[in-house]
Amino acid sequence: MPPHGEEPVPMAKSRVQFICQNCGTVHTRWAGKCDACGEWNTLIEEGTSGGIGSGPSGMRNARKGRAVTLTTLSGEIEEAPRIVSGIGELDRATGGGFVRGSALLVGGDPGIGKSTLLTQAAAALALRGHRVVYVSGEEAVAQIRLRAQRLNAAETPVELAAETNVEDILATIADGRRPDLVILDSIQTLWTDMADSAPGTVTQVRASAQAMIRYAKSTGAAVVLVGHVTKEGQIAGPRVVEHMVDGVLYFEGEGGHHYRILRTVKNRFGPTDEIGVFEMSDKGLREVANPSELFLGERSAKAPGAAVFAGMEGTRPVLVEIQALVAPSPLGTPRRAVVGWDSARLSMVLAVLEAHCGVRFATHDVYLNVAGGYRISEPAADLAVAAALVSSLTGLALPADCVYFGEISLSGAIRPVAHAQQRLKEAEKLGFGQAVMPASSEDKGGGQRSAFQPDTLADLVARIAGSKGRSTED
């Protein structure tokens, strides 16, 4: 009871918030649908003691700030800025190796090979004399040892633990020499005492990631966080985690194919458009030094509707086959099916062919496929797609030793694309002697190369259609 004559001090009521588990938006009351991302049944009740926008517990009593030491941009660097794993494709995707003091987020579908890749990377770094700590929150130590035996990595000095509490993990890795690399598999299983919600919620994922990133920045150790992906292919959990880390890598692949692609989406210390190509085997992941041979394997040289596209993935040229099938449609609205390319861009190419070249697809089904399950995002594939479509419609096979690249504008003109010389060199190395490419002042093609440089798409269509007459004369 308070002394006589004094008013009782009211107790602070703990405010409850509802946080979307898909996008991290905070709501003051529960609703069936999140207003920010539109997802249903994703609002979970969480307290504000460790929620988004609040600091650690006990921060209500504000303390006076402490002055920190300001320094300059120039100065000595503690050690080598990067840790090279020796796995060439992994080092390529990370921009030359793991950066000390950085945090990296690796995402991918379940069973795609994230743990296999990181186990091989941990073993390779441990053999080079680095201290590597692998912490798993999803598997027991015995399960990880079984994988290591299958990958011939069981004899490497990788330090292993199965733990999910962030404070216990930080206390464990603080013993002994500072680790060079810490791998946490996965971020969705971690939980910290600073947040009151269950593991896997937005608050726990954010708080756990924040604690590990703070450890990486303060000690100089590289931290790799593994993240699950949603049905849409995005890393599950709040998008704020992707903004907190220094790099985001996606491990991609199709279930029916052996190859895997490690794609860089964000990298503060390197390029953001590099890829690393691996092939999955019973002994783990094997590097693919020349992915063009992988995507061009077992192609039929005499089949119509197939064109070889000379593309670029970062600094690496990649040759891939684009397949088109144009067949008469019994439907009032013909089908348009695309695998590995943008369906809206296919509609654009079809419209340009109809409007400026007189090629009619209104009564035909159109199917487009990128061989090997590969995905193309650059507009330089327009010319190869158009060539494959016209080839399939006319039934005329394209030259087997010809590559295609170039962007098509809505006026039917062929626009230049970057890195033409690198595309040509890669094609020449694989035995392609001809190229259909945009006319450009700086790239005229090789001396021995037969390069056709059409000004408009109609020129290419006329060339393909004219090949029937030439083949008849031959």
Q: What is the CATH number of the domain that holds 186?
A: 3.40.50.300
What is the pLDDT, as a whole number, of residue 1? 54
pLDDT at 183: 96
pLDDT above 50: residue 441: no
CA 249 to CA 424: how far, in whole Å?
29
Q: Is residue 8 over pLDDT 80?
A: no
Residue ending a domain, choose from 240, 274, 289: 289
| Higher pLDDT, residue 310 or 316 | 310
Kind of pairing, strands 414-415 and 407-408? antiparallel
pLDDT attached to residue 58:
46
Q: Is residue 261 part of a domain?
A: yes
| Residues contacting residue 277 through CB under 8 Å, at least 6 positions apart | 89, 259, 260, 261, 262, 287, 288, 291, 294
pLDDT of 369 higher than 50: yes
| Arithmetic mean of pLDDT over the chain | 85
358 and 285 housed in the same domain? no
- Residues 421, 405 contacting (CB under 8 angstroms): no
What pLDDT does 308 receive?
A: 94
- Asked if residue 69 belongs to a domain, the reply is no
- On whether both 280 and 380 belong to a single domain, the answer is no
Q: What is the mean pLDDT of residues 83-106?
A: 93
Task: Supply the pLDDT for residue 166.
Answer: 95
**Residue 467 pLDDT exceeds 80:** no
Q: Looking at the structure, tell me whether residues 438 and 302 fall in a common domain.
A: yes
Q: Stretch 425-430: mean pLDDT, rounded? A: 89
Region 178-189 average pLDDT: 92
Say what the pLDDT of residue 273 is. 79
Question: Both 324 and 397 in a single domain?
Answer: yes
Identify whether 410 is part of a domain.
yes
348 and 369 co-located in one domain: yes
**CA-to-CA separations, 44 to 26, 33, 242, in angstroms, rounded:** 10, 11, 21
Angle at alpha carbon of residue 128, lines to 123 and 130, rounded to 5°: 80
pLDDT-wise least confident of 24-33, 48-57, 280-289, 306-315: 48-57
Mean of the pLDDT values across residues 373-386? 92
In this prediction, residue 379 carries a pLDDT of 93
Q: Averaged over 140-160, what is the pLDDT?
A: 93
Looking at the chain, the whole-number percentage of residues with pLDDT higher than 90 is: 53
Q: Which of 289, 317, 336 is the last residue of a domain?
A: 289
- Tell which wins on pLDDT, 24 or 108: 108
| Structural domain includes residue 29 | yes
Considering the domain architecture, whether residues 35 and 105 belong to the same structural domain is answered as no
The amino acid at residue 268 is R
- Residue 473 is predicted with a pLDDT of 42
* CA-only gyration radius of the chain, Å: 28
With a cut of 50, say whether residue 50 has pLDDT above it. Answer: no
Which one, of 225, 227, 228, 198, lies nearest residue 213 by Cα?
225
| CA atoms in the 13 A half-sphere facing the CB of 416 | 11
Distance (Å, rounded) from C-alpha 419 to C-alpha 137?
44
Instruction: Assess whether pLDDT exceeds 70 at residue 52.
Output: no
Continuous segment of H or E residues that includes residue 104: strand 103-108
Would you list the DSSP string of 305-368? TEEEEEEEETTEEEEEEEEEEEEE--SSS--EEEESS-HHHHHHHHHHHHHHH----TTEEEEE
Domain residues for 41?
16-47
Q: Are residues 168 and 309 in the same domain?
A: no
- Cis bond leading into 186, ω under 30°? yes
For the chain, the domain total comes to 3
Across 115-119, average pLDDT: 94
Judge whether 75 lies within some domain: no
Rounded Cα distance between 264 and 270, Å, is 9
Decide if pLDDT at 323 tops 90: yes
Confidence at residue 300, expressed as pLDDT on a 0 to 100 scale: 73
Quote the CA–CA distance of 385 and 306 in Å, as a whole number: 9
| Three-state helix/strand/coil letters over 105-170 | EEEECCCCCHHHHHHHHHHHHHHCCCCEEEEECCCCHHHHHHHHHHCCCCCCCCEEEECCEHHHHH
Residues 268 and 300 in one domain: no
Residues 172 and 241 in one domain: yes
Query: Are 112 and 148 within one domain?
Result: yes
CATH number of the domain enclosing 356: 3.30.230.10
CA distance 28 to 335: 46
**Does a structural domain hold residue 324?**
yes
Within a domain: residue 385? Answer: yes
Q: Which residues share a beta bridge with 296?
A: none
Q: What is the pLDDT of residues 15-48, one digit of tens each?
A: 678 888 777 788 888 999 988 888 888 888 876 5
The b-or-e profile of 229-246 (16+ CB within 10 A means b, else e) is: beeeeebbbbeebbebbb
pLDDT score, position 448: 39
Is 168 found in the same domain as 144? yes
Asked, for residue 216, whether it belongs to a domain, the answer is yes
Q: What is the band of 285 on the pLDDT scale with cuts at 50, 70, 90?
A: very high
Task: Kindly indicate the confidence band of residue 256, based on its pLDDT and cuts at 50, 70 and 90.
Answer: low
Q: Are 416 and 305 in contact (CB under 8 A)?
A: no
Note whether 173 and 218 are within 8 A (CB).
no
Q: How confident is the model at residue 447 (pLDDT cuts 50, 70, 90)?
A: very low
More reliable by pLDDT, 445 or 191: 191
Q: What is the mean pLDDT of residues 253-281?
A: 85
- As a whole number, mean pLDDT of residues 206-214 equals 93
Is the per-residue pLDDT at 169 higher than 50? yes
Q: Return d(Cα 259, Cα 242) in angstroms, integer.
A: 26
Q: Kindly indicate the confidence band of residue 78, based on its pLDDT and cuts at 50, 70 and 90.
A: low
Domain-ending residue, one of 289, 316, 347 = 289
Percent of the chain at pLDDT > 70 equals 85
Domain shared by 258 and 334, yes or no:
no
Q: Report pLDDT for 231.
A: 61
Q: Using CA atoms, how far apart are residues 401 and 386, in angstroms rounded to an integer?
A: 17
